[in-house]
Amino acid sequence: MSRSITLGQYFPGQSLVHQLNPRMKLISLLFVLALLFSLRSYSGLVALFFIALFLIAKTRVPFRYFLRGLRPVLFIAIFALVIYFFFTSGGIVLLRVGFITVESEGVREGIFIILRLVTLVLFSLLLTLTTTPLSLTYGLSYFLKPLRYIGLPTDEVAMIMAIALRFIPTLMEESQRLMRAQVSRGADFESGSIFRRAKSLVPLIVPLFVSAFRRADELALAMEARGYRIGAIRTRMHEDTFFPRDWVVLAVALVMLAASLTLGL
Amino acid sequence: MFIGTEKLTHTYMPGTPFANEALKEVTFDLSQGEFALIIGPSGSGKSTLIQHLNGLLKPSSGKVYFEGNTVGSNKAELFNLRKRVGLVFQMPEEHFFSETVYDEIAFAPRNLGFEESKVQVRVTEALEEVGLETRTLLNRHPFQLSSGQKRLVALASVLSLKPEVLILDEPTAGLDSSGRRNLYSLLTKLNRSKRLTVLICTHHLDEAAALADTVIVLQHGRLILKGAAKEIFSRREQLYQLGLGLPAVTEIMHGLSEGGMKVRTDIFDLEGARQEINKLKGRHVK
Ligand SMILES: Nc1ncnc2c1ncn2[C@@H]1O[C@H](COP(=O)(O)OP(=O)(O)OP(=O)(O)O)[C@@H](O)[C@H]1O
Ligand SMILES: [Mg+2]
């Protein structure tokens, strides 16, 4: 079972952050992101950054998982830093090399931007690391519900996403199995020209498709046998409930956003 | 010291919360020409173990050896190992990808770099070895075959490597009883006539038990028993505790014996049981 949920970044745990209602986590994240962009003061941003660190500690997810999530933005961060350091003027001159100068205003703004970016990524990771892809999908589909009134089959779309999520690891496992079966018969997927390597994938793709179609058929049958009908109202086995703690988190996020907007922090 | 492992440990997804130690310090070896069985409850690590013997997984610690040499991790060594140790996966026909039976079986010899004329010889030989009629089948689509035939084609597609060791994962899964018997008599023949070392993972003891020289029992990734088939199957209590049980025939002999009849209980095949029971009749009939 454990293998089927390794998709995405979910790191299992029992912390408060893990147990928050996924819908609430999604909305709160939205508020926090808005807050990040409305904040103008250093102190506010640093406070938010520390809130993120505090929550991260609470999740008990090893910090390296967050670091790994930060890696993709490292390049952007360095790039932004360089731009701000060298091209923003104002304040006192800190460094002068030839005709390039680094001035205090640039450093201030550069660091501000990066701190904002890092905090943003950390909060997003807080969501994705503590919520299973499936709950995220259901959470998202809830917010898409209004689209039903303009004719979009939102429940069905959610079902499709959930099934896709469920089967991606299965298909990955299957392709690995196939690959091994062929490697054991002397196939080589690693060397040779791109053309050769592409050709060596054919023996993978054919059986993968065959089994995917067979699975799809079987699944459709099984679902219909259990009463699944397009357009029917479905209930869920695990209805997500809201606890006081969910409202508290939401309220805190909302209050922070409101404070920032009205007080211009 | 023909093929085996030494303190082989394997951890799936190490360093993640899903880390799973599927093999724990497994040590065993087989000699050339041996017919061995690996049994163990589901999830005990059988499939993981045999994939190591084919160099498909990398040991987390410990080693795999073949012909007295430790199998390294460089490509040439692994290629050499795979050439000589053939592995038939569980439900191998699900891996078919070719348009014809011929191409399916030719996949391995082609990967060995043979010329087409030699490939053809290998394909014909492999099909004959598994007892399939060559001419009518070669140009058929693999999906048009019966499930028994598919299994044989899958076996042929590994035999075309001309391996010295043949490893099979649940070879009889999904076959009917005649298919099972046919497959096992084929494996026995290959083992006896070609001195092919055979290693089989299975839950179905009925056909396999009588043929095996050696039985290896895994549980929770540990090798807990290894010995001659007679010796292992005499540990009835222990096997039951493991949820494995005995071959049906052996179970019947135990039943008779417990019912007061004087029969041997170390019998694993129908023929042996028939003889033993006939002896009994002889005693009762005046
Ligand atoms: N690709 C994989 N990734 C992670 N864990 C795996 C993987 N393959 C197997 N496992 C785990 O390793 C353990 C041993 O699995 P293995 O497939 O070797 O058992 P088995 O004895 O062959 O079982 P079965 O009789 O059901 O085929 C199991 O706990 C299984 O969940
Ligand atoms: Mg298995």
What is the 3 state secondary structure string of A30-60? HHHHHHHHHCCCHHHHHHHHHHHHHHHHHHC
Q: Answer whether B13 sits within 8 Å of A6, measured CB to CB.
A: yes
Domain boundaries, chain B: 3-246, 247-286
Tally of CA atoms within 13 A in the half-sphere of A246 that contains its CB: 14
Closest approach atom of ligand 1 to CA A173: 1
Cross-strand pairs, B217: B39, B225
Confidence bin at B177 (pLDDT 50/70/90)? confident
Q: Are B155 and B146 in contact (CB under 8 A)?
A: no
* Whole-number pLDDT of residue B127: 92
* Whole-number pLDDT of residue B223: 95
Distances (CA, A) of A42 to A36, A153, A164: 11, 45, 43
* Whole-number pLDDT of residue B283: 65
Distances (CA, A) of A243 to A15, A21, A145, A256: 15, 8, 22, 21
B131 vs B152: CA distance, rounded Å: 8
Nearest residue (CA) to ligand 1, atom 14: B45
Confidence bin at B82 (pLDDT 50/70/90)? very high
Letter for the amino acid at B130?
A: V
Confidence bin at A8 (pLDDT 50/70/90)? low
* Whole-number pLDDT of residue B90: 92
Residues of chain B with C-beta less than 8 angstroms from the C-beta of A215? none
| More confident: B212 or A8 | B212
From the list B116, B119, B132, B195, the residue with the least C-alpha distance to B161 is B119
Asked if residue A1 has pLDDT above 70, the reply is no
Asked if residue B205 has pLDDT above 80, the reply is yes
A11 interfacial to chain B (CB closer than 8 Å): yes
* Whole-number pLDDT of residue B84: 93
Nearest residue (CA) to ligand 1, atom 7: B12
Asked if residue B272 has pLDDT above 50, the reply is yes
Lowest mean pLDDT of A119-123, B137-141, B173-177, B282-286, name the range: B282-286
Q: Are A65 and A128 in contact (CB under 8 A)?
A: no
Q: Are B123 and B43 in contact (CB under 8 A)?
A: no
| More confident: B136 or A28 | A28
From the list B192, B220, B206, B167, the residue with the least C-alpha distance to B36 is B167
- Find the closest chain A residue to B161 by CA distance: A185
The CATH number, out of the four listed (3.40.50.2300, 3.40.50.670, 3.20.20.70, 3.40.50.300), of the domain defined by the range B3-246: 3.40.50.300
Tally of CA atoms within 13 A in the half-sphere of A106 that contains its CB: 19
Indicate the angle between helix axes A22-38 and A133-144, nearest 10 degrees.
Answer: 80
Q: Answer whether B89 sits within 8 Å of A188, measured CB to CB.
A: no
Confidence bin at B30 (pLDDT 50/70/90)? very high
> What's the rounded mean pLDDT across residues B107-134?
91
Q: Are B214 and B197 in contact (CB under 8 A)?
A: no
B224 vs A118: CA distance, rounded Å: 51
Asked if residue B210 has pLDDT above 90, the reply is no
Q: In this structure, what token pair is assigned to residue B136?
A: 């009518």
Instruction: Tell me how many degrees the CA angle B69-B72-B77 measures, rounded to the nearest 5.
Output: 85
Distances (CA, A) of B210 to A66, B76, B249, B262, B271: 56, 38, 10, 21, 10
Q: Answer whether B107 sits within 8 Å of A207, measured CB to CB.
A: no
Q: In this structure, what token pair is assigned to residue A225?
A: 């046998």
Asked if residue A91 has pLDDT above 80, the reply is no
* Whole-number pLDDT of residue B284: 58
Q: Answer whether B95 sits within 8 Å of A11, measured CB to CB.
A: no
Q: In this structure, what token pair is assigned to residue A122?
A: 């950390």
Cross-strand pairs, B142: none
Confidence bin at B29 (pLDDT 50/70/90)? very high
Letter for the amino acid at A69?
A: G
Lowest mean pLDDT of A53-57, A181-185, A234-238, B188-192, name the range: A234-238
How many CB atoms are located within 10 Å of the residue B172 CB? 22
Asked if residue A2 has pLDDT above 50, the reply is no
Residues with CB under 6 A from ligand 1: A 3; B 12-13, 20, 22, 40, 42-48
Top mean-pLDDT range of A83-87, A188-192, B61-65: B61-65
Letter for the amino acid at A124?
A: S
A177 vs A170: CA distance, rounded Å: 10
Mean pLDDT of chain B: 90
Asked if residue B110 has pLDDT above 80, the reply is yes
Q: Which residues numbered 179-208 in A keep a CB inside 8 Å of some CB on B?
A: 180-188, 191, 202-204, 206-207
Q: Choose among B20, B79, B97: nearest Cβ to A206.
A: B97
A16 interfacial to chain B (CB closer than 8 Å): no
From the list B181, B160, B30, the residue with the least C-alpha distance to A185 is B160
Q: Are B103 and B122 in contact (CB under 8 A)?
A: no
B56 Cα to the center of ligand 2, angstroms: 14
- Find the closest chain B residue to A7 by CA distance: B18
Asked if residue A6 has pLDDT above 60, the reply is no
Residues of chain A with C-beta less than 8 angstroms from the C-beta of B80? none
Does ipTM exceed 0.85?
no
Asked if residue A161 has pLDDT above 60, the reply is yes
Burial (CB count <10 Å: 0-12, 13-18, 19+), residue A70: middle
**What DSSP designation does A149 have?**
G
From the list B191, B205, B192, the residue with the least C-alpha distance to B244 is B205
Q: Choose among A11, A181, A202: nearest Cβ to B95.
A: A181
* Whole-number pLDDT of residue A136: 86
A49 vs A36: CA distance, rounded Å: 10
- Find the closest chain A residue to B95 by CA distance: A207
Helices (H), B130-269: 134-137, 147-159, 177-194, 205-208, 229-233, 236-241, 248-258
Cross-strand pairs, A97: A100
Q: Are A100 and A84 in contact (CB under 8 A)?
A: no
Residue B15 has phi, psi (to 5 degrees) of 75, 10
**What DSSP designation does B143 have?**
G
* Whole-number pLDDT of residue B115: 93
Share of chain A above pLDDT 90, in %: 27
A68 interfacial to chain B (CB closer than 8 Å): no
From the list B181, B98, B188, the residue with the least C-alpha distance to B145 is B98
Residue B214 has phi, psi (to 5 degrees) of -125, 145
> What's the rounded mean pLDDT across residues A205-231?
89
> What's the rounded mean pLDDT across residues A59-76?
87
Asked if residue A16 has pLDDT above 80, the reply is yes
